[in-house]
C-alpha cells in the first residue's frame, strides 16, 4: 500500500477496510451518522488513530480515530486538535476507558 497523505484518502482507505460508519461526538457519547444509533463510551473502543498536519497552514491539524462498537458498527471520528479541537470529542475521549497493549519482540 502506498503512503496516504490526506485525511480524505485515509478515510477512503478506512471505508475499504470496513470502517464505513461516520461517528459524531454528542453529549454523552457518539452517534452513527448513517443509522442514528448512539453509543456510550463503554460501548466503543478506539483501535487506531492518525494525525494530519496541513501543508499550507499550521492551523490545519486533524486527528482521525478508528472506532469499533460493541454492537457491530465500525467507523471513524474526525476532529481538529489543538486550539480548534471539539469540546464534545474531548469529553467523549476523556470518559473512555483506556487499554494499553504492550508489544513484545
Q: What is the pLDDT of residues 31-43, one digit of tens each?
A: 999 999 999 999 9
Find cell 499550521 and name the residue: 58
Q: Is residue 17 part of a domain?
A: yes
Q: Is residue 100 part of a domain?
A: no
The x, y and z cell numbers of residue 23, run together, are: 461517528
pLDDT at 16 over 60: yes
pLDDT at 2 over 50: no
Q: Is residue 104 part of a domain?
A: no
| Per-residue confidence band for 95, with pLDDT thresholds at 50, 70 and 90 | confident
Of 68 and 97, the one with more pLDDT: 68
pTM metric for this prediction: 0.81
Q: Is residue 87 part of a domain?
A: yes
Q: Is residue 88 part of a domain?
A: yes
Cα-based distances in Å from 84 to 6, 76, 79: 19, 19, 9
Q: Which residues constitute the domain of residue 42?
A: 7-95
The x, y and z cell numbers of residue 13, run together, are: 482507505
Q: Is residue 101 part of a domain?
A: no
How many domains is the chain partitioned into structurally?
1
| Per-residue confidence band for 6, with pLDDT thresholds at 50, 70 and 90 | confident
C-beta separation of 30 from 39 below 8 A: yes
Q: Is residue 55 part of a domain?
A: yes
Q: Is residue 19 part of a domain?
A: yes
The x, y and z cell numbers of residue 56, run together, are: 499550507
| Per-residue confidence band for 69, with pLDDT thresholds at 50, 70 and 90 | very high
Torsion region of 30: left, alpha or beta (phi above 0 gives left; psi -120 to 50 gives alpha): beta
Amino acid at each position: 500500500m502506498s503512503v496516504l497523505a490526506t485525511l480524505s484518502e485515509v478515510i477512503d482507505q478506512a471505508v475499504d477496510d470496513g470502517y464505513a460508519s461516520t461517528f459524531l461526538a454528542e453529549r454523552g457519547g457518539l452517534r452513527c451518522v448513517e443509522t442514528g444509533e448512539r453509543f456510550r463510551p463503554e460501548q466503543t473502543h478506539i483501535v487506531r488513530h492518525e494525525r494530519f498536519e496541513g501543508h499550507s497552514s499550521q492551523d490545519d491539524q486533524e486527528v482521525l480515530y478508528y472506532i469499533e462498537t460493541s454492537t457491530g458498527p465500525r467507523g471513524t471520528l474526525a476532529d481538529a486538535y489543538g486550539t480548534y479541537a471539539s469540546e464534545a470529542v474531548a469529553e467523549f475521549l476523556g470518559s473512555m476507558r483506556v487499554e494499553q497493549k504492550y508489544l513484545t519482540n
